């Protein structure tokens, strides 16, 4: 297991180098997306107003306070459950060039395969650890689609954002699947399958 400090945008070879259970810390730009954001992109067919080539996206809907000048102050920023938004992942990778998804709860097989095809990874964060995440997000730099509040498209600037665990790599391996396979075998061994 290795530890990396990375700054987006990423290229394919960096992503292909990462292995399951490697530890990653992010610096620089991180985009926030959630259900409604991706519903707009993929179901309503509106192209995202920011360039996501090589980007890292996090599944989030932050708690914020609007300042008089129109910018946003962070109140509590944390991560939501990824499998709910699984169907959008292949599109983010193929159409918009996203290289990494930060989330909790993992992704399903079609996303694992898409990550293998396009050279992208899933980075697991500790779900519910928003106090820490909010501290590691230095600033909300930009917000698009404010009508979807709080499920807008967010641009954050982060420092030492992590620890993140490589839980799906760019070679078709999923730590979640590995753990679930083991769990199924153990439940069977207990006689409760």
Partner 1 sequence: MESIYDIIEQTACDLYIRALQEIPQDIRLALLRGQKAEQEQNNETATQMMLTILNNIEVADRDHTLVCQDTGLPIFHVTVGSDAPVSIPELKAALTRGCERATRERPLRSNTVHPLTRKHTGTNTGVGIPVVHLDFVSGSSEIELQLAPKGSGSENMSFLRMLNPSDGIKGIHKFVLQCIFESGARPCPPVIVGVGLGGTSDVASGLAKRASSFRKIGSVNPDPDVARLEQELLHEINQTGIGPQGLGGATTALAVHIDWAHTHISQNPVAVNMQCWRGERAEAVITAAGEVRLPQAELAGSQK
Q: Residue 130 interacts with partner 1 (CB under 8 A)?
A: yes
Cα 163 to Cα 151: distance, rounded to the nearest angstrom: 24
Helix (H) or strand (E) holding 132: helix 130-136
Cβ proximity to partner 1, 53 vs 182, nearer residue? 182
- Given 126, 139, 142, 145, the residue binding partner 1 (CB under 8 A): 126
Per-residue DSSP letters for 6-55?
A: EESSP-HHHHHH--TT-EEEEEEEEEEE-HHHHIIIIIS-PPPSS--TT-
Cα 85 to Cα 107: distance, rounded to the nearest angstrom: 8
Cβ proximity to partner 1, 54 vs 153, nearer residue? 153
Cβ proximity to partner 1, 46 vs 135, nearer residue? 135
Which token pair is 110?
């079609």
Q: Residue 75 interacts with partner 1 (CB under 8 A)?
A: yes
Which token pair is 193?
């399958």
Q: Residue 145 interacts with partner 1 (CB under 8 A)?
A: no
Q: Which residues pair with 91 in a beta bridge?
A: none
Q: What's the closest the beta carbon of residue 48 comes to partner 1, in angstroms?
A: 21
Binding-residue total with partner 1 (CB under 8 A)? 48
Contacts with partner 1, residue ranges (CB under 8 A): 1, 21, 23, 60-63, 65, 75-81, 83-84, 104-106, 124, 126-135, 150, 163, 165, 167, 175-176, 178-180, 182-184, 186-187, 190, 192-193
């Amino acid at each position: 297991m290795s530890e990396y400090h990375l700054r987006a945008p990423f290229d394919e070879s960096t992503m292909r180098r990462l292995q399951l259970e490697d530890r990653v810390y992010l610096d620089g730009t991180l985009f926030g997306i959630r259900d409604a954001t991706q519903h707009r992109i993929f179901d309503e067919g509106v192209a995202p107003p920011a360039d996501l080539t090589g980007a890292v996206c996090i599944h989030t809907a932050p708690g914020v306070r609007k300042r008089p000048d129109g910018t946003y102050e962070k109140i509590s920023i944390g991560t939501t459950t990824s499998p709910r938004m699984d169907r959008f992942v292949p599109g983010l990778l193929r159409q918009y060039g996203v290289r990494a998804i930060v989330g909790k709860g993992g992704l399903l097989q079609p996303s694992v395969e898409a990550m293998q095809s396009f050279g992208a990874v899933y980075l697991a964060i500790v779900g519910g650890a928003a106090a820490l995440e909010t501290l590691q997000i230095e600033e909300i730099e930009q917000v698009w689609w404010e009508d979807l509040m709080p499920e807008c498209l967010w641009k954050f600037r982060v420092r030492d954002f992590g620890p993140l665990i490589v839980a799906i790599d760019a070679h078709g391996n999923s730590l979640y699947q590995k753990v679930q396979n083991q769990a199924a075998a153990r439940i069977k061994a207990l006689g409760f399958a």
